[in-house]
Amino acid sequence: MGTTSVLRTRPARPAAPVGRTAPKRAVGGRRPMGPGRRRRRAGLLLVAPALLHASLWIGLPVVASVVLAFTEYDVLTAPRFAGLDNFRELLGDAVFRKSVVNTVVYTFFTVPFGMALGLLLALALHTGLRARGFFRTAVFLPQVTATVAIALVWLWIYNPGNGLLNTLLSFLGIDGPAWLSSTSWAMPSVILVGIWQGIGMKMLIYLAALQSLPKELYEAASVDGASKVRQFFSITLPLLKPATFFVLITSMISAFQSFDQIYILTDGGPANSTTMMTYEIYKSAFREFRVGYACAQSLVLFLLLMGFTLVNRRIMGGTRGHN
């Protein structure tokens, strides 16, 4: 019986619709990179230097600090695993507990008062005030001035002998106290410096947020007969919620990390009345060379900041403003 050859032909590919072109294939059968993928790759390349920098100078030190918190390390000898000994010692360290209380008190007063003054200044500078540029620069100037220079100026202001503050009080017949040498006045004096120095950044953030608010809402409220006070509480404050949350968190972090002014003004005294957590970390690491213990203190500081941040986010309901 003869064999017949059957010719098998590949089915024809359907023609592309009118107006569309068939997808091109690159050499080797790979599909060419789409625009979205190109943008993602370009974005990764752009942020790669910052990610590398953050990994080397932030990520690695954070991991090292967490590891060293469970060791006994004095720089000169190799770290020795100590378990939870550093944290047990922290619980019995009266000076560190005092620093935690001082840090919370300092934050409790500097953050809300600074935010309120910053918002008031932003509202004042948002109006048609003459020489607004000058006043904005003057308010923001302490923020960009070196903290050491600011502390030295305030050290002269608080000088009990010939300082500016006691000199002004003497004209009123009041004998000013030794502001930085008194356990009663040292902390309020440091708090005043903290409020004054940080008010510029808060003002700037609130001012930027105010300038972005839609004017149509205020025009509609004016037509409905709402007063300026009602507009502030019903429109301005709700719309400033994201800015308020940002200012609150950054101000808390800054307050918890206060060190320079404490180091210059009081050196943690008198009688540890102004010592802060960051100052105790500094003493443990660079004066006593107890790096493991200092890392344990740093971990406690981090956990406190994380806890306060989560609580504030919970209270404020996140960062979304009202529509």
pLDDT at 42: 86
Q: What is the pTM of this model?
A: 0.82
Q: pLDDT at position 15, please?
A: 54
The confidence score (pLDDT) of residue 31 equals: 63
Question: What does the block give as tokens for 13?
Answer: 């590919």
- Output the tens digit of pLDDT for each of the chain's 323 residues: 444 444 445 555 555 555 555 555 555 556 666 777 888 888 889 999 999 998 889 889 899 999 999 999 988 889 999 999 999 999 999 999 999 999 999 999 999 999 999 999 999 988 877 778 888 888 899 888 888 899 999 999 999 988 999 999 999 888 889 999 999 999 999 999 999 999 999 999 999 999 999 989 888 998 888 888 899 999 999 999 999 999 999 999 999 999 998 999 999 989 999 999 999 999 999 999 999 999 999 999 999 999 988 888 888 765 554 44
Q: Tell me the sheet residues that pair with 81.
A: 71
pLDDT score, position 135: 87
The packing angle between helices 132-144 and 186-211, to 10°, is 130
Q: Residue 257, Cβ neighbours under 10 Å: how many?
A: 14
**Other C-beta atoms within 10 Å of 310: how many?**
10
Name every residue whose Cβ is closer than 8 Å to that of residue 282 and which is 6 or more positions away in sequence.
259, 263, 294
- The CA distances from residue 319 to 71, 108, 112, 322, in Å, are 39, 21, 18, 10
